Amino acid sequence: MPADLARFLRVTLFVVLGGVVSPSQAVENKPAEEKPAAAPAVPATPSPADFLDTVGMHTKARWRLLFRPPPPTPSAERHRSALVLGTLLGDSFLVLQATDAQQFRNNNQEVLAYCRTLGLGEKLLPRLMTQGNLAEQNAWKELRQELVEGHQEALRLLREQMDEDLALLIDIGVGLRLMEIVSAIIVAAPESDVRGLCSGTPDLLQDLRENCGRISAERRELPLLTRIRSTVDQTSQAWKNVEATPLTQEQAAETSEKLKALMQEMVTK
């Protein structure tokens, strides 16, 4: 083969091979496929703060009139202490609405005492101290988030301790206190938008019924829990379709009295 022809073929082969892309190069150079858009986040269950925010949108509630005296020393009966702790957490959200720093500190001391009874004191103490400092600083927006997260952390810690019943009872206590608050507001302000005030109660009562049903069979038959289930069922029946048919003053007053009696029974040893 002549030398000139050989050089020509070598150059041609180099050019041709130079334009060939290896499979690995093809993968690397291929434009990245677009990922499908993330599904929209599912809204979380409304928190107690959300529930009372909604109540406050429909009336000028006199929140401070709903403050309660502190409960007695925590009971050795853990189910009773868990219920009372739940009502105290409900009071924390009530005080948040009133933006009363001194009352928040007072209530937080009771929360800590009941947390200690359930073995949560040391674990939740840093968060409770943070909450107290935020109240001192009138940092109510930040405190709101702290309260929502603190409530969930208490439930998580109990479940990690294999105390599912106690976690459920705390949530039941919170729900009962919220129902007591809204019924008392309706009684105190008959001129308010009752339909709006009741807008969050169907979901709240549904949660209460479900939580009562999930309590273990042994605890479910305790006298106090039997009365709680009965009260929740009666209240659910009375408040049925409240968004369509506004609650009457008589119904609200009856609910308020039943729940007050139940709260008193929780702290009666």
pTM to 2 decimals? 0.82
| Separation CA 269–CA 266 (nearest Å) | 8
Q: Residue 111: its pLDDT value, please? A: 98
| Separation CA 212–CA 218 (nearest Å) | 12
Write the DSSP assignment of 39-71 as a string of letters.
PPPPPPPPPHHHHHHHHHHSS---GGGG--PPP
Q: Take residue 201 and report the two structure tokens written for it.
A: 């109660």
Domain ranges, ordered by start, for the chain = 48-240+249-266
Neighbours of 259 (CB within 10 A): 22
Per residue of the chain (269 residues), give pLDDT as tens. 444 444 444 444 333 334 444 433 433 444 444 444 433 333 457 899 999 999 999 988 899 999 999 999 999 999 999 999 999 999 999 999 999 999 999 999 999 999 999 999 999 999 999 999 999 999 999 999 999 999 999 999 999 999 999 999 999 999 999 999 999 999 998 888 888 888 899 999 999 999 999 999 999 999 999 999 999 999 999 898 887 788 889 999 999 999 999 999 999 86
